[in-house]
Structure 1
Amino acid sequence: MTLEPLAPRPDAPSLADGLNWVKSSHSGGGGNCVEVAAVDHLRYIRDSKDPHGPVLAVTPEAFTDFLTAAATGKLDGPE
């Protein structure tokens, strides 16, 4: 038996459908925003410019760790 990867179906509902997506109040509206949706024990993250594109799912703890690292500059690149 040969298994082949499944191609995305254009008629399939997206994970993004039906979630309550929010942007940070700090978003400036320049199009470089991330949106987050909280559902059960996961936090979903997507690019606001591509609402039907890829969605990242992480635990609430991982999301909190990410926010803390971003707020404290631990994710800043070299200057």
Structure 2
Amino acid sequence: MSAEINWQKSSFSEGGAQCVEIAEHNGEILMRESDDPNAVAATSPTKFAAFIAGVKAGEFDHFTG
């Protein structure tokens, strides 16, 4: 990925290597893991907003152990 992408980590990540990073680039939302920055997934802002709504509603809490 291009160096001009401004990746954002959660302030809840411990040590920086245990998190997912998010960026907006060319109208898409990009996601990657801090420890594997070359593996990037892309989605639309609409799909990402639906995912965030689910996170806020607790729909994915069972994945966090």
TM-score range, shorter chain: 0.7 to 0.9
More helix by share: 2
1:31 to 17, 20, 42: 17
Q: How does 1:1-79 map to 2 (within 5 A)?
A: 16-18=1-3, 19-29=5-15, 31-52=17-38, 54-77=39-62
The 3 A distance-change label for structure 1 pair 20 and 30 is: closer
TM-score by length of 1: 0.66
CA RMSD of superposed structures (Å)? 2.0
Unaligned runs of 5+ in 2: none
* Larger Rg computed on CA atoms: 1
- Alignment: residue pair count: 63
Equivalent pairs: percent with the same residue? Answer: 37
Question: Alpha-carbon deviation of 1:40?
Answer: 2.8
Unaligned runs of 5+ in 1: 1-15
TM-score by length of 2: 0.77
More strand by share: 2
Equivalent position SS for 1:55 = strand
Q: After the TM superposition, which parts of structure 1 deviate over 4 Å for at least 4 consecutive aligned residues?
A: none
